Structure 1
Amino acid sequence: MKLIRDPIHGYIRISDKLLQIISSPLFQRLRYIKQTGLAYLVYPGMNHTRFEHSIGVMHLAKEFTRFINENSNIDFVNDDFIELIGLAGLLHDIGHMPFSHTFENALILAKDVYGMNVYEEGKKTHVKIGEKIIGEYLNDLIDNNFSESVSDPVKFLQKVMNETPETKEEKFATLIISNFVDADRGDYLLRDSYYAGVSYGEFDVERLKRFLVFIDGKIAILSKAVPIVEQFLLSRMYMYENVYFHSVVGLYNAIISHAIVKILEKGISIPDSEEDFKKFTDYFIISNLYDINNKFRDAILFRKGFMRVKKDIIGQCFDEFSNLKQELYKDMRESNGLFIYHEFNDVPYYEEKDDAVFVFDGNEVNKLTSISLIARSLKEIKKAIIGFHYSEKNKAEKYIKKLQSCNTIGP
């Protein structure tokens, strides 16, 4: 047993079995993958990585499971199963590529804007790569240490990671790791808020985890904890509006996305071997900046050369610009990425048949929106920005005029 001192959760206990995974080179690689892309160019403290986030998710996943079991007495939950849940949290981001989701955005850009033939699965690309890492590179280590509670722990982890659960155990684990109120969001809201130096992402995680139950195959909150869940959902919305969707953060993540496309054009691709994947870090991309247009290098390393139109594209104006995508894509191609159009989009909360936060009042289970006015009021967040290198100001002018003339009031 080891202890890790974490600034968010305090001391985190690490079992010997989980320590073997943490000590593996493929997990240690996450030390060199920034959690929030280039957000540190705006929020200087946001230099934290997928490494500490993954350990935080492991911790919360185990904590949530323990308290749910205390409140519900689930027949399949025991100490070994809790360790397996912790492993699912630990490995949920093992497939992330340099600069995290920004690399996935670069792959989409390469395909949709530049017409390149690249492998991409949208925001799930890192999930598919993670499945491969677990199934091909970490499988022996996992099988040797985590076979007590399920017969095939590798398949279990892959099903949970891909959100395609079949058994009751897999469904439970999926809800713990990936839900509206889950261990992943629970850690990144607190952690990203802490390192950004803001309070938007704070919520009472200690109280929240004590009011979780498992009933009718669903993880639900006790009705007395509804205000905490409302706080959680608002925290997520505020973090997206003020930090993740900060216009300048978006600009620099878009710049490095175009830079990654240029690196891909030189024949570099997602590694297909364990040894090469170990080297696939932020530093790998930064080292390759010197082999492409130095305007990207100067922007990313020294924050020089690019400007942002200081008027966000929102409301009716967003819809008008969305109709101009092909023209915008053409101008981005012709400028070799020195003219940039970048969209942000997120839905803080929505409900479908089996996709919701559930509330248990002691008698029945209801969806959150039947109880919470705040949950009913949460709307889609969407906006776009225009940026350009000073050498491409002329290409941006026509869009600046359009932006000045269109209506940007309200969604």
Structure 2
Amino acid sequence: MAQNSSRKLGKVFCDSIHGHVELHPLLVKIIDTPQFQRLRNIKQLGGGYLVYPGASHNRFEHSIGVAYLAGELAKTLQNNQPELKINERDILCVQIAGLCHDLGHGPFSHLFDQMFMPQACGNADWTHEMASLEMFEYLVRVNKLHQVMKKEYGLNIKDDQEDEEDDQEDEEDDQEDEEDDLVFIKELILGEPLNASSADWPYEGRKLEKSFLYDIVSNKQNGIDVDKFDYFARDCHHTGIKNNFDHMRYFKFARVIEVETDPKNQIKRKHICSRDKEVWNLYDLFHTRLLLHRRVCHHKVTTNVQIMIKDALLKANKHSKIKGTGGAVFTLSDAKKDMEAYTKLTDEVTEIILHSSKKGMKEAKEILERIKRRNLYKLVGEAKIEQLKIIPNEKIIKLKENLKDCLTDEDFEGIENETLMVVIMDPFLHCVIHCSLRHHAESVTESPPQKKRRLDKKIPKENIMSLKSRLERVLTVDDFDGIRNESLEVVVRQKQDKTISKEKIESLRQELADDLSDEEFEKIKNGSLAVMVMKKKDMEMLKKIESQRPQLAKVFEKLRTGSVEEKIENLKEDLKNILPEKDDNDCFEVVPITYSYGKGKKDPIKYTYFYKKDDPERGFTISRNKLSNFLPEDFLEQTFRVYWKTDDKKHTEEAKQKFKTWCKRTGSEEIDILVDNDLDPSQPPQDEATTSA
């Protein structure tokens, strides 16, 4: 490649996290463009800087850090495993992708794409990754870097106008001819294929043999990538949080291994794996993510400030005029349609609003001035969102012991902990599920006579007749033929303390009007819910029943989800009544908060491959039960907060009271709210009598 002769054009940057880092001259050319320089004016943590005074770092230095780490990881793999055939073009491409992966961030980073844009234009599909891709294409085009990449630095870039000439001059092998480096960079930035494809390998920039290169910048498999390595270290450094994850140690043990990602279909991929002993270092990585989200990104005051900035941008949106290509004018939310206009969007937009003399900017200015005076919205309260949880292994083992009396040894061996699941429903519905378990009846019938006698004693005949009378309304005669006395014992029931509101019961009554009489419905007892344990294959029959009885399907769905959305809508209705003459957005904000390790409820380590020192060619996953009992069953926690916006103590107190009443009515667990000096590290301690939530 030609870049060695241009080494004098490279630069050494002194970075606060990585020290002195040297970047390739092509990266320097990209950095020295208006499109990249705008990142100097976009805070990495958005409104977090207004809470943590040290969080003054920007997307600019983060992007440089990611580019550096991407190159270091690629070079480490190249040196340690020459058989991977990582070439200089591969390394340069991942560096460019790392440098440009955040080009599309708007003002205040995620505040713009996650809070402002959905409300401004209802475009939930738009992401900053999509904007990064467009901005990268725009940067290359307006700065005429296309030919620079190709001619000066030897990147393979398909150009229809010059394909014939390039094919004659190109002396590289056929495989490299087929690779399009520009497409590869775009795929790395977007984090997914550019074109939807059902092919086994949907990417076009690199072949399957180099699939591991897609793990470096944005790892969709498990979230272990250099983007996180940099922002964890950088965010922790600037907020005073200790980072226990050492990315340099990860580099030492990183190794590419071909693993079977889908054993059923025999699909294999090359992934970056780590030594088995490094599993706890990786848990430190994910725990650092959780800490940053809990203490910084979703800090109560950070969220508060970001809501206020978002509201100011919404108020100013239609009054903003941003010039784009050909003199076209765009609003804040429409600027994404034109990259020339979007280039002008940075955090400075709030200063423009504050100093604007336009009448239409008055409301937006007032909100921003409240932030300046620290007259923030008031936190009304926070509550946990209930989640259905999988039964812990200990309980499952105990339930399996109970099942031993009902099943033969052969049947029992077929029941695995992983195949058991929990379904919650009311007593009047649990009988429907018995038909899905009737396949157990035959095996139980073949059980020894003494087991049958015990079963007969456990389930009185009158109970069977009672169940049968209730089943007649929802099952066919054929279904009844499959139900035996013995099969009922297969289901293990437990009581749970749950509260069903009157409104919910009335809703269920209306939905089941055709299936249950008033007398039958009165059998529903508030607080009596049964936990059913069944095998996954039984769920197929349950789905069949639901499809045949749509009204029951609705009830099942409500009972499984807990109707969180319905509860929150009820809360919003209560809050609307405080100031009915005002628009909801001017009075309050209900904000969902999610904490996880990056894979929802799942453990990301489950999707991480490891190798042993004495067998470095075999990649494998590590089961959580082989690690520690201290690991959680569920890696997701969800809450929601309510912020009151009007600067009125009377209405704020009324909102707090309605929130507390709602929590009691719905059985939601309220989270204690700390006083202001505990919430806001940027403010000095205040006397308790003068603080407010």
Pairwise same-fold verdict (TM > 0.5):
yes
Amino acid at match of 2:278: A
Q: Deviations over 1:312-370 (max 9, x none)?
A: 22244997764344463994971543422212224314459998221122253222445
Of 165-174 and 345-354, deviating more is 345-354
Compared CA separation, residues 359 and 102, structure 1 to 2 (3 A): same
Q: CA deviation at 1:389?
A: 3.0
Corresponding residue number in structure 2 for 1:314: 384
Q: CA deviation at 1:260?
A: 1.7
Give, in whole Å, the separation in 2 of the partners of 1:299 and 1:241: 25
Give, in whole Å, the separation in 2 of the partners of 1:337 and 1:37: 22
CA RMSD of aligned residues (A): 3.1
Corresponding residue number in structure 2 for 1:182: 225
Q: Deviations over 1:79-115 (max 9, x none)?
A: 23212111110000001100010011234541xxxxx
Give, in whole Å, the separation in 2 of the partners of 1:222 and 1:37: 36
Q: Deviations over 1:284-336 (max 9, x none)?
A: 23312451414311233332242223x42224499776434446399497154
Compared CA separation, residues 385 and 320, structure 1 to 2 (3 A): farther
Corresponding residue number in structure 2 for 1:148: 154
Give, in whole Å, the separation in 2 of the partners of 1:326 and 1:265: 28
Query: In 1, are the aligned partners of 2:606 and 2:623 still within 8 Å (CA)?
Result: no
1:87 partnered with 2:96? yes
Corresponding residue number in structure 1 for 2:607: 356
Q: CA deviation at 1:375?
A: 6.3
Of 52-61 and 267-276, deviating more is 267-276
Compared CA separation, residues 357 and 286, structure 1 to 2 (3 A): farther
Q: Deviations over 1:153-189 (max 9, x none)?
A: 3322221222224133774333111121111111111
Compared CA separation, residues 249 and 341, structure 1 to 2 (3 A): same
1:54-73 residue pairs with structure 2 within 5 A? 54-73=63-82
Of 131-140 and 245-254, deviating more is 131-140
Corresponding residue number in structure 1 for 2:135: 133
1:194 partnered with 2:237? yes
Number of corresponding residues? 401
Query: In 1, are the aligned partners of 2:606 and 2:622 still within 8 Å (CA)?
Result: no
Give, in whole Å, the separation in 1 of the partners of 2:189 and 2:651: 42
Corresponding residue number in structure 1 for 2:289: 236
Other structure's SS at 1:177 match: coil
Corresponding residue number in structure 1 for 2:319: 266
1:382 paired residue among 626, 633, 638: 638
Give, in whole Å, the separation in 2 of the partners of 1:109 and 1:278: 20
Q: CA deviation at 1:244?
A: 1.4
Corresponding residue number in structure 1 for 2:546: none
Give, in whole Å, the separation in 2 of the partners of 1:352 and 1:248: 29
Structure 2 residues not aligned, in runs of 5+: 1-9, 158-179, 194-202, 259-269, 321-330, 388-560, 672-693
Q: CA deviation at 1:240?
A: 1.4
1:287 partnered with 2:347? no
Query: In 1, are the aligned partners of 2:596 and 2:635 still within 8 Å (CA)?
Result: yes
User: What is the TM-score with the length of structure 1 in the denominator?
Assistant: 0.87
1:209 partnered with 2:274? no
Give, in whole Å, the separation in 1 of the partners of 2:307 and 2:48: 11
Of 130-139 and 230-239, deviating more is 130-139
Of 35-44 and 280-289, deviating more is 280-289
Corresponding residue number in structure 2 for 1:113: none
Give, in whole Å, the separation in 2 of the partners of 1:249 and 1:316: 24
Amino acid at match of 2:226: A
Query: In 2, are the aligned partners of 1:34 and 1:99 still within 8 Å (CA)?
Result: yes
Query: In 2, are the aligned partners of 1:103 and 1:260 still within 8 Å (CA)?
Result: no
Query: In 1, are the aligned partners of 2:275 and 2:610 still within 8 Å (CA)?
Result: yes
Corresponding residue number in structure 1 for 2:669: 408
Query: In 1, are the aligned partners of 2:104 and 2:130 still within 8 Å (CA)?
Result: yes
Corresponding residue number in structure 1 for 2:207: 168
Give, in whole Å, the separation in 2 of the partners of 1:316 and 1:403: 16
Give, in whole Å, the separation in 2 of the partners of 1:343 and 1:396: 20
Corresponding residue number in structure 2 for 1:97: 106
Give, in whole Å, the separation in 2 of the partners of 1:256 and 1:184: 26
1:304 partnered with 2:375? yes
Give, in whole Å, the separation in 1 of the partners of 2:310 and 2:61: 24
Other structure's SS at 1:138 match: helix
Corresponding residue number in structure 2 for 1:323: 566
Give, in whole Å, the separation in 2 of the partners of 1:82 and 1:383: 42
Structure 1 residues not aligned, in runs of 5+: 111-115
Give, in whole Å, the separation in 1 of the partners of 2:41 and 2:564: 36
Give, in whole Å, the separation in 2 of the partners of 1:231 and 1:106: 29
Q: CA deviation at 1:213?
A: 1.1
Of 279-288 and 151-160, deviating more is 151-160
Other structure's SS at 1:77 match: coil
Other structure's SS at 1:98 match: coil
Q: Deviations over 1:255-275 (max 9, x none)?
A: 212222222243623424443
Other structure's SS at 1:384 match: strand
Give, in whole Å, the separation in 2 of the partners of 1:321 and 1:349: 22
Query: In 2, are the aligned partners of 1:338 and 1:392 still within 8 Å (CA)?
Result: no
Q: Deviations over 1:14-65 (max 9, x none)?
A: 1211100011110000000011111112111111110001011111111111
Query: In 1, are the aligned partners of 2:644 and 2:655 still within 8 Å (CA)?
Result: no
Amino acid at match of 1:247: K
Other structure's SS at 1:387 match: strand
Query: In 1, are the aligned partners of 2:304 and 2:376 still within 8 Å (CA)?
Result: no
Of 184-193 and 161-170, deviating more is 161-170
1:365 paired residue among 616, 619, 627: 619
1:17 partnered with 2:11? no
Compared CA separation, residues 23 and 90, structure 1 to 2 (3 A): same
Give, in whole Å, the separation in 2 of the partners of 1:258 and 1:234: 32
Give, in whole Å, the separation in 2 of the partners of 1:47 and 1:100: 13
Corresponding residue number in structure 1 for 2:305: 252
Corresponding residue number in structure 2 for 1:44: 53
Other structure's SS at 1:13 match: strand
Give, in whole Å, the separation in 1 of the partners of 2:373 and 2:57: 20
Give, in whole Å, the separation in 1 of the partners of 2:100 and 2:17: 19
Give, in whole Å, the separation in 1 of the partners of 2:349 and 2:109: 13
User: What is the TM-score with the length of structure 2 in the denominator?
Assistant: 0.53
Compared CA separation, residues 177 and 150, structure 1 to 2 (3 A): same
Query: In 1, are the aligned partners of 2:603 and 2:635 still within 8 Å (CA)?
Result: no
Give, in whole Å, the separation in 2 of the partners of 1:353 and 1:41: 32
Of 242-251 and 313-322, deviating more is 313-322
Compared CA separation, residues 68 and 396, structure 1 to 2 (3 A): farther
Amino acid at match of 1:168: K
Corresponding residue number in structure 1 for 2:537: none
Other structure's SS at 2:191 match: coil
Give, in whole Å, the separation in 2 of the partners of 1:121 and 1:71: 40
Amino acid at match of 1:148: G
Query: In 1, are the aligned partners of 2:43 and 2:109 still within 8 Å (CA)?
Result: yes
Compared CA separation, residues 375 and 176, structure 1 to 2 (3 A): farther
